Amino acid sequence: MFFYKCNQCGREYKRNEVRYLCPVCGKKYKFGIPLTGVLSVMFDYDEVRDKLRKSRHDYKCISAVEEKYFPPYKVGDTPFFKVPKLEKYTGYKNLWIKNDSLNPSGSLKDRASFLIAAEAERIKEKKIITASTGNAGVALSAVCATTEKTALIFLPSSAPKAKLVQMLIYGAKVMKVEGTYDDAFKQSIEYTNNYEGLNRNTAYHPLTIEGKKTAGLEIFFQNGRKVPDVILVPVGDGVIISGIYKAFFDIKMAGIINKLPQLICVQAKSSDAISRFIITGKYKNAENVNTTADSISVSVPSNAYMARDAVINTNGFAITVSDNEILRAQILLASTTGIFAEPSSASVVAGLIKIKNQNLIDSKKQIVLLITGNGLKNIEAPLSKLKLN
């Protein structure tokens, strides 16, 4: 049905032969650098083409886990629509939103956690472990609540309270990490190396990329099986942008399309390791990460290599925005579309404004803003900008 292919050396592995990284390239991985040997899922694309032609809307045929293992947790099928008032404010004429903050636990992370829970069911693992800035853990907690599985979350103490509340109410076990998300990442991998369970760390488990891919597939189908010109994606670890890339890669490999959307990597100024990597070609960790956009706050992005390829291969580019620009964009988005998004998601609106000011994209192009998380998950961030009137 599919095999895994290493993003770095190109070696191929059978599905049950590996679990996380490429056994060869993964050996070079140590804590404090981006993951090496991240795996991609490669399908039989003739088969995918036949299936896609038969069922014109059902993209579940490009899934790396069989439907019979799916948990009873309804992710995806989120709205995709045009935003006339935001068009007027930004000067773009064909501006769309994919509102993934409407997933059940309030973020796009539901898609990845869903597929990992399905995989855990397939390989009969009862416990799933993840490091999280917040949303990945929330999503894993929620999907586990619908099954007999337990979720164990390694969470940095700086995570917003609402996300911790979500995890606890879904019944997860939360390990508070005195340190950053990067420390949590390390501790969670040590846990699954030394103890038990399936590790869901983003990009470390290749199916997190496949899970997030479904957002890209939906954009394609909801857009009438057409490829939009540009998609703006908020980037932390670089897995969502890799997933969006993979969606269009799969459809192209199946011979259904021949162009790819330009993927724009949007990051917070202080958490900009992938953007700098794209611009300079040299990788270096972000040293002083300090952004209110908690979901994209990361010093060592786990999927830096694949994310950079996604942008370069689609002729995209990277842009960074300040916290001040993010918080202003958060208000603009809410007051023109009715969507209260997390700061991380509002970063794409801030990015769009910058792109317009610098004339980087033609105003007639079809542009999609990927809104990834709900604003109620972090109400402290916008509070400083709001006044009672």
Ligand X SMILES: *Cc1c(COP(=O)(O)O)cnc(C)c1O
Chain residues binding Zn ion by CB under 5 A are: 6, 8-9, 11, 22, 24-25, 37
Among residues 238 and 382, whose Cβ is nearest to ligand X? 238
Residue 170, number of CB atoms within 10 A of its CB: 19
Give me the amino acid identity at 219.
I
Give how far Cα 381 sits from Cα of 106, 158, 343, 353, 389, Å. 17, 13, 7, 20, 19
Q: Does 135 bind ligand X (CB under 6 A)?
A: yes
**Which residues, including other chains, have CB under 8 Å from residue 305's CB and lie 6 or more apart?**
7, 8, 34, 36, 38
- Binding marks (x or -) toward ligand X, 182..221, rule CB under 6 A? --------------------x-------------------
Among residues 198 and 265, whose Cβ is nearest to ligand X? 265
Degrees (nearest 5) of the Cα angle 112, 116, 117?
A: 115
Residue with tokens 């032969």: 17
CB of 294 to ligand X, least distance (A): 9
Q: Does 166 bind ligand X (CB under 6 A)?
A: no
CB of 53 to ligand X, least distance (A): 31
CB of 79 to ligand X, least distance (A): 16
| Tokens matching residue 324 | 């001040």
Which does residue 115 touch among Zn ion, ligand X, none (CB within 5 to 8 A, set by kind)? Answer: none
Among residues 8 and 202, whose Cβ is nearest to Zn ion? 8
**Which residues, including other chains, have CB under 8 Å from residue 351's CB and lie 6 or more apart?**
232, 264, 266, 319, 321
Torsion sign, CA atoms 366, 367, 370, 371: negative
Of residues 99-128, those binding ligand X (CB under 6 A): 107, 109
Among residues 22 and 153, whose Cβ is nearest to Zn ion? 22
Q: For the chain, what is the largest distance between any 2 Cα atoms, rounded to a whole number of angstroms?
A: 61
Query: CB under 6 A: which stretch of 114-122, 156-164, 229-237, 360-368 binds ligand X?
Result: 229-237
CB of 6 to ligand X, least distance (A): 20
| H helical segments located in the chain | 45-54, 84-90, 109-122, 135-145, 161-170, 181-194, 207-222, 239-253, 273-280, 304-313, 323-337, 343-357, 380-383
| Tokens matching residue 208 | 């997190």
Which does residue 151 touch among Zn ion, ligand X, none (CB within 5 to 8 A, set by kind)? Answer: none
Of residues 328-347, those binding ligand X (CB under 6 A): 342, 344-345
Give me the amino acid identity at 235.
V
Of residues 350-379, those binding ligand X (CB under 6 A): 372-373
Residues near ligand X (CB under 6 A), total: 18
Among residues 135 and 180, whose Cβ is nearest to ligand X? 135
CB of 266 to ligand X, least distance (A): 9
Contact 220, 251 (CB under 8 A): yes
Which does residue 22 touch among ligand X, Zn ion, none (CB within 5 to 8 A, set by kind)? Answer: Zn ion
Among residues 227 and 296, whose Cβ is nearest to ligand X? 296
Interface ranges with ligand X (CB under 6 A): 107, 109, 135, 202, 234-240, 295-296, 342, 344-345, 372-373
